[in-house]
Chains A and B, each alone.
Chain A
């Protein structure tokens, strides 16, 4: 189940945004302008089932997303979606994955505390014996130049 974000979890001033996800779920998210930089040398790793529900996260994921592990396991991966990310970017992601191909791109993620962090993300379908078993996503520290380019591009997309 996806719950609305709570002002009690926030740090700093926030704005409210109503996000509608591809499965019809609607969630009120609270967003601040506080950025948490991705630490050097780390990888954020997660796995989902074929429906996009989280089955595994590493410690870096927990620290950067700001959720305890028990809230992450079983939750849809889209709880990290930041309202500044255009739906078109995620459509490209899913169109690529449905063809059993690897996708990569620059992503602004939403933390539980309303802040955000930029990553260079790669998502790969986990194919075992010809069957799709889920997805692995690995995120790493992005170049600031690429982040600025992505910010400009995403502002032009819906």
Chain B
């Protein structure tokens, strides 16, 4: 039997090939066939998840809630020392220096990354900005968000911190972070679904010993990770509760 694996579409494009390398490594490590399918957007992936097409998902915190509480997925691991943080950035010459400098009518450029958008909208709350008095323009990638800012088509851009820091120097030199989240307890998590749950312990052991073998280390590097850390069911439940508190 071949199992199906997918990755949250907010993965860093620089690490696209890394996920295929990881999938090859994982198949060898557990002796099972796994097909990796990547999506360009969240909606297409969510439809496939709703259709129960996947057995292994590297999920963003937002989707982890649905997968654990409604689809019977269980947590395996999270990347070590890698929490999800968000940045609201402006053009380098923007007169705004703190969030309170932003005004209603603000033009926002963002991707459809749900947890980044939620964190960034929370960071706008102190200056009474919300979906009601801002204009949101959705773009396909963070590079396009950056271009919208540089070209003056948007006042602020929402970024995943990791992606912002990996924008080219030329792009970043034309931007400036206005505010950055320091939440520290929200992160992506690798979840295993009901059809593959019998391999949970085997996969967990293989993932946690990756750093001890040369090949495993190379695979982790291709993903931009230093290693994995075990995630308990309670850790995930806590994160889901926390995400729930942020939704309104």
Flag A53-67 by CB within 8 Å of B: 1 or 0 each: 000001110000000
State whether the Cβ of B95 lies closer than 8 Å to any Cβ in chain A: no
Cβ–Cβ < 8 Å partners of B123 in chain A: 40-41
* Cα(A143)–Cα(B123), bound, Å: 10
Q: A140–B125 contact, CB under 8 A?
A: yes
Indicate the member of B179, B180, B181, B245 with the most A CB atoms within 10 Å. B245
Asked whether B182 is an interface residue with its Cβ less than 8 Å from the other chain, the reply is: yes
Chain A interface residue count, CB cutoff 8 Å, equals 28
Partner of A41, one of B179, B234, B241: B179
Nearest CB in chain B to that of A145: its residue: B128
B238 and A136 contact, CB distance less than 8 A: yes
The residue from A42, A59, A102, A143 contacting B244, defined by CB atoms under 8 A apart: A102
A-B pairs with beta carbons under 8 Å apart, 29 shown: A40-B123, A41-B123, A42-B181, A42-B183, A43-B246, A45-B242, A60-B182, A102-B248, A104-B245, A104-B248, A120-B125, A122-B245, A122-B246, A123-B245, A124-B244, A124-B245, A126-B237, A126-B238, A126-B241, A136-B242, A138-B242, A138-B246, A140-B246, A141-B126, A142-B125, A142-B126, A143-B125, A143-B126, A145-B128
Cβ distance B15 to chain A, nearest Cβ, rounded Å:
25
Q: How far is the CB of B27 from chain A (nearest CB, A)?
A: 34
Instruction: Tell whether A128 is near chain B: CB-to-CB under 8 Å.
Output: yes
- Report how far A135 CA is from B37 CA in the complex, Å: 38
**Residue B170 interfacial (CB < 8 Å):** no
How far, in angstroms, from A11 to B107 measured CA to CA in the complex?
42
Distance from B236 Cβ to chain A, minimum over Cβ atoms (Å): 11
Q: A122-B245, A124-B241 are in contact. Are A58 and B128 (CB under 8 A)?
A: no
Name B's A-contacting residues (CB within 8 A): 98-99, 122-123, 125-128, 179-185, 234, 237-238, 241-242, 244-246, 248
Please indicate the chain A residues that have their CB under 8 angstroms from the CB of B246 in the complex. 43, 122, 138, 140
- Kindly list chain B residues whose C-beta atoms are within 8 Å of the C-beta of A42: 181-183
Q: Tell me whether B242 and A143 are in contact (CB under 8 A).
A: no
Provide the A19-58 mask, 1 if CB < 8 A to any CB of B, else 0: 0000000000000000000011111010100000000001
| Distance, CA A144 to CA B126, complexed state (A) | 7
Q: Please indicate the chain A residues that have their CB under 8 angstroms from the CB of B238 in the complex.
A: 47, 126, 136
Q: How far apart are A99's CB and chain B's nearest CB, in angstroms?
A: 16
| Chain A hits for B126, CB < 8 A | 40, 141-144
User: CB < 8 Å: which of B127, B179, B185 contacts A58?
Assistant: B185
Q: Are A45 and B185 in contact (CB under 8 A)?
A: yes
Among A102-146, those with CB < 8 Å from B are: 102, 104, 120, 122-124, 126, 128, 136-138, 140-146
Query: Among A40, A59, A102, A140, which residue has the most Cβ atoms of chain B within 10 A?
Result: A40
Known A40-B98, A143-B128; further 7 A-B contacts with Cβ < 8 A: A40-B99, A40-B123, A58-B185, A122-B248, A128-B234, A136-B245, A143-B127
In the complex, what distance in Å separates the CA atom of A47 from the CA atom of B238? 9
Min Cβ gap B70→A in Å is 14
Which residues of the partner chain A approach B122 to less than 8 Å between Cβ atoms?
Answer: 140
Q: Nearest-CB distance from B99 to chain A (Å)? A: 6
- B234 proximity list for chain A (CB < 8 A): 128
Give A39 to B123 CA distance when docked, in angstroms.
10
Cα of A137 to Cα of B238 in the assembled complex, Å: 11
